Amino acid sequence: MELKYTTQNYDWGMKGMTSCVARLLKGSSPDAEVEDEKTYSELWMGTHQNGPSFIKETGKSLREFVAENKEVLGEAVRKSFGDDLPFLFKVLSVRKALSLQAHPDKERAEALHKLYPEIYKDPNHKPEMPIALTPFEALCGFRPFSEIQNFLKTIPELSTVIGEETTKNLIESDEANSKAHLQKCLNGLLTHPPDSTAEKLKSFLDRLSQMDESGRDALNARVIEKLYGDFPGDVGCFGLYFFNYVILQPGEALYLGANEPHAYISGDCMEIMSCSDNVVRAGLTPKLKDVPTLIEMLTYNCEPAESKKYKAIKEDDFTEVFRPPIKDFAVAKIELPPGTPSYQLPPRTSAGILIIIEGSVELNSQVYASGSVLFIKANDQLNLNILTKGGSTLMFEGFANV
């Protein structure tokens, strides 16, 4: 059952046909007009009210269809989540960095929703997983403690913003006491007067521009210059020296659990998440920042960048599945080499959403090109004829991890 999806045009998206979102839209709807200077940031697949999908043939919303045909979800999904899809599936095309943020766990989400319903609009948690389609840059989780200490020793502009005494205490601390010192340092950074922070950032960027290549590389100059270009003077730029900088290669993933600080910087990715809008922001954004909540909720677990990548489990010769430690979602990546005549999509205990990223397939005499999206009922098996000429076929399927 083919779906018509919603696209979003947020300011941070890639423009025109440079955007994977725009290319997928054009692939599935050749008559769609793509404007060169318009941003195409997100493609949404699911039942979320802010970007609903519709049954292409009937025009009925997927949410309405599911409500009228609850059995399509699968018994295990209904038992765990009620009568709606528990996940939202997306494609993102990121040109400009997204906010430095974290998502609350279920308990905190319920409390925040009760206290500030106009800001935190639902009581649900929001774990999420990006899977790279192109080289994808992000900040994710706290760096190893020794790395943070080293940056604070070598960037006086940063230690001035945080506060000399607070910085000194962290540098002289050992890892056993790292959490309390990290919390104080991050609080000092994020609550420093914005004008003074902007001044120190500019001084640091000026100093970076005078350094030789090895000095610039040691301080991740290219990355902070990109962040500064996106958000001049924003305190979130300094977040680079607290959080791991990660480049995901195509097919690699991150799992972003509750209270995990992160920011997407650039690139195209698949993304799957729980159905929630709860975001606690602290930088790289003109939107509301809730620094006290963020400071209180973060994990402060220091781990190396490579440990943030989430490994898939091989399902068959062509498919690997990312199964995070929650029931809300999982993702299958299906990559068929050139010349593959057919593929049998296995039945699952959950309803799923399948998107074709590269190539084209035939199902029940209907041809689906790149950008096409199908809703798959629980326990349905699809027998796909592969029509792709000369290249690989790449598809992703999102479903509940039940």
- Please list the active-site residues: 281
Pairing of strands 280-283, 373-376: unpaired
Dihedral over Cα of 176, 179, 185, 186: its sign: positive
Question: What 3 state SS string does 310-374 have?
Answer: ECCEECCCCEEEECCCCCCCEEEEEEECCCCCEEEECCCCCCEEEEEEECCEEECCEEECCCCEE
Rounded Cα–Cα distance for residues 147 and 145 (Å)? 5
Phi, psi values for residue 259, rounded to 5°:
65, 20
Cα dihedral 189/194/195/196 (nearest 10): -10
Question: Both tokens of residue 219?
Answer: 């301080």
The answer on whether 103 is annotated among ligand-binding residues is yes
Rounded Cα–Cα distance for residues 153 and 171 (Å)? 7
The answer on whether 262 is annotated among ligand-binding residues is yes
The answer on whether 113 is annotated among ligand-binding residues is no
Dihedral over Cα of 118, 122, 124, 130: its sign: negative
Amino acid occupying residue 214 = S
State the binding site.
101, 103, 128, 262
State the binding site for Zn(2+).
101, 103, 128, 262
